[in-house]
Chain A
Amino acid sequence: MPAFLDRLLSALRTPRADGSGFGPIPDAARRTATTPARPGWLAGCVLLLLLAAPAQAHKASDSYLMLAAHGEQVTGHWDIALRDLDEAIGLDADQDGQLTWGEVKARHGAIAAYALTRLGIEGGGRPCRLDGGQQTLERHTDGVYTSLPLTATCPAGTASLRLDYRLLFDLDRLHRGLARVSHDGSTESLVFSPEQPRQSVTERGSWQTAVEFARQGVIHIWTGYDHILFLLSLLLPAVLVWRDGGWQASAGWRPGVADTARVVTSFTLAHSITLSLAALGVVSLESRWVESTIAASVVLAAINNLYPVIRGRRWAVAFGFGLIHGFGFASVLAELALPRAQLVTALVSFNLGVELGQLAIVAAFLPLAYALRGSWLYRRLTVSAGSIAIIVLAGNWFVQRAFNLPGL
């Protein structure tokens, strides 16, 4: 048996603590404990060591570092748990386990000194001067943190930053520094660990911003099923004409293409307008109302295929409801933290991304619909059954969104 177990136990032969182990086999430990010569020693150690702890690791120690770079300065704040600071430098003067505001304030100087020597910021390859401000308290999920305002002055600018994070790693290898660094609106998240204590952030160029937002636009139209279904509902009859109380195949490819172009253009125009207005903060609508109306628009568009009230002017429907869909896109854009300096770039590229994604869908749909338009399969099954399916699906969304219900 490893000698350390023996030594270990001799220091810690507290029966109660040993009894509380768990794990698939801790029993094992216990049995050896009954070995006559040395009751308890192996038991304790094995027990403790064995326990396949049931993985209850939850909130370990984190600090939150929020920084924003402008010109030659980086400003922000650093939230560090009082509990961690107490472990590191001692805050609880009277050692009663109750940390008062007075006790914390008395240690503000020590906290700032401790923290500021464990963070290095370089801008443009040269060290920045770091200063701390007056601390306040913030509550996070696992307790109260001190919030230390930071100012870094970087003579070589802040376009490229390098952060060197060393807080608490010597005491707690599972500590993580969670940082958000923003360069005029474009934000990057970093996680610092003992394995990755140094990381760099570079300001995003306009081209990168454009690509990123265009990509988000494409992703959004492709994963936002409600927008796709609305568009498809309007496009299903594009290759057909309503005659004698039923859908018939249209004569050539021209009417279908023209109809599609009108619908897609109106939809695009409309949602670009409201997306821009909402993103610029000119208009804002309650999201529940917007989302419910979007669901309703899908239902109505599909009903119109079964009982065509509006035939030739589906582009007008596309425009009208497109205005509402634009507000839906805007809520996504809001989640993406729009960069202030590159607002127009971001907005235009997101819109372009949405259009590109839309065109790809149309490009896949139209030739297929055109080829099949004369068949029973298309006119009956796709248009009728498809529209009914869309009504059921979108109706379900509507109920969920409008009444906050779990849905069917």
Chain B
Amino acid sequence: MKRLLLAGALLAGALHAAPVVPASDASVVETLPARADPLARELKALRAQAQAQPQRLDLALSLARRYVDSTRRLADPRYLGYAESVLAPWLAQPQAPLDARVMQAIILQSTHRFDAAIAELQHVLARNSAHAQAWLTLASVHQVRGEFEPARAACRHLAPLLDPGVAGECLAGIAAQTGQGDAAYRLLALRQAEAPDWSRGWLTVQLAELAQRLGRPAEARRWFERAMENGPPDSYLKAAYADFLLDQHDAAAVIALLAGDTRADPLLLRLAEAEAASGAPAAAEHIAALNARFAAARERGDVTHRREEARFRLRLKHNAPAALQLALDNWQVQREPADARIVLEAALAARQPQRAGPVLDWLRATRLEDIALRPLAAQLTRS
């Protein structure tokens, strides 16, 4: 009965639309990525250029690259589809250019098609084992999946291909998740200090998150604040910062940070959590919006957002069993600290500690350090 009802609700959610009746011809009915926005203008110009010279791989690659970058900055997945379309004619060739395949792997990774991404990269590396970008992307896919040994191996392949520091930092990222958090933190902090302006932002976020996991909230806050000063923050930074603030029970700061960010689902989720925690009236409306959006995503067969949906079911809909199932499904695909955390939280809330077993085993095996996971794991082990 539950399942049937759920299916019904989902259909209703995604397919049910509300009519819009504009008052006059001058009524604004939709806001588009503005032409005045330099990014939108740049993308438009690049696309025109690439379309005018379809034989030029470099133009296609740079356009795809900019689309991928835009998705990350704006949490807008449409650009990923555009990027894939730009590459499609190149990938259809019998001997697809390796660089196009690497770019395709990056898109596949972004949409959680990890197996396909790895296959694509392995194909490239079999033909050119000196393709540094392919090794880097391979390392990152394996890391997201919690496959640290192959991730390390991929990092090591970088050493002869790039500045040796690159391989070192690649390895530090993995060390930070495998029981050497302190050492990784010190190394990355040193690097951050000497990083050029334009590259410091990302490293600062890394450090902020690592400090948070290592239980140093004051330092984490400093890194986050520094990252926020480094130009307009993108959606990843905002989400990470909001998560930190939520853990510090600073809902007011989250609401101030994300007040205008209702279009990006991950940010809306954090905003709604903060609103629910502080009893803000907007919470109900935002929870309903998220519900409809998750239903719409499911309608199209999209499963990339299961971690977030699990969090939504657990923290905002208080449906621990459903959250646990989503969290476990997600765990089959993705194994970052946040993926482990949602499984543990949901298993505790659902009073099904045995189902968190695989995650607890994994945490013990990797020796992942995370201050947020420790009490959860202890509680689950007791019960």
Enumerate chain A interface residues (CB-CB to B < 8 A): 1-2, 4-5, 7-8, 11-12, 15-35, 39-40, 42-43, 45-62, 64, 66, 79, 82-84, 86-87, 92, 95-102, 104-105, 136-145, 147, 169-176, 178, 180, 189, 191, 194, 216, 219-220, 223-224, 332, 335-336, 406
Contacts and interface: CB of A to CB of B under 8 A. Distances in A.
Given A50-B136, A101-B25, A137-B22, A82 B80 contact: no
Q: Which 4 A-B pairs have the closest CB atoms?
A: A97-B34, A174-B81, A15-B198, A102-B25
Contacts of A20: 69, 72-73, 201-202, 231, 234, 237
Contacts of A82: 29-30, 32
A49 B72 contact: no
B109 interface: yes
Interface stretch (B82-90, B213-221, B248-256, B367-375): B82-90
A11 B62 contact: yes
Contact of A4 (B17, B61, B163, B263): B61
Interface in B1-42: 1-5, 7-8, 11, 13-15, 17-22, 24-37, 40
A27 B35 contact: no
A24 B21 contact: no
22 contacts: A1-B161, A20-B72, A22-B206, A25-B140, A33-B196, A45-B133, A47-B199, A48-B65, A54-B236, A57-B80, A58-B266, A58-B297, A58-B305, A139-B17, A139-B18, A141-B292, A141-B295, A169-B85, A174-B84, A220-B1, A223-B1, A332-B5
B197 A96 contact: no
Contacts of B31: 97-99
B293 A58 contact: yes
A278 to B, nearest CB: 15
Nearest to B166: A28
A24 B133 contact: no
Query: Chain A contact residues: over half helix, strand or loop, or mixed?
Result: mixed
B127 interface: no
Give the one of B3, B85, B203 with max A CB within 10 A. Answer: B85
Contacts of A99: 28-32
A12 B42 CA distance: 10
Interface string B259-288: 000011110000000000000000000000
Contacts of B234: 20
B355 interface: no
Contacts of B78: 60-61, 83-84, 172, 174
B28 A30 contact: no
Given A42-B162, A56-B305, 10 more contacts: A11-B58, A20-B202, A25-B169, A35-B163, A47-B199, A60-B81, A137-B21, A142-B296, A172-B84, A194-B88
Interface of B: 1-5, 7-8, 11, 13-15, 17-22, 24-37, 40, 57-58, 61-62, 65-66, 68-69, 71-73, 75, 77-78, 80-82, 84-85, 88, 98-99, 102-103, 106, 109-112, 131-133, 136-137, 139-141, 143-144, 151, 155, 158, 161-163, 165-170, 172-174, 188, 191, 194-203, 205-206, 230-231, 234-237, 239, 263-266, 289, 292-293, 295-297, 299-302, 304-305, 307-308, 318, 334
A140 B296 contact: yes
Tell me if B's interface is mostly helix, strand, loop or mixed.
helix
Contacts of B8: 335
B168 to A, nearest CB: 8
Contact of B132 (A46, A92, A145, A219): A46
B294 to A, nearest CB: 9
Contact of B29 (A52, A100, A178, A194): A100
A213 B116 CA distance: 38
Contact of A19 (B140, B202, B300): B202
Nearest to B13: A141
Contacts of B24: 101
B197 A15 contact: yes
B111 A57 contact: yes
A175 B81 contact: yes
Contacts of A51: 72, 106, 140, 202
B5 A335 contact: yes
Contacts of B201: 19-20
B110 A57 contact: yes
A137 to B, nearest CB: 4
B265 A58 contact: yes
Contacts of A172: 78, 81-82, 84-85
A189 to B, nearest CB: 8
A96 B41 CA distance: 12
A53 B65 CA distance: 13
Contacts of B88: 173, 194
Given A55-B334, A102-B25, A141 B14 contact: yes
B236 A27 contact: no
A148 B265 CA distance: 28
Contacts of A102: 25-26
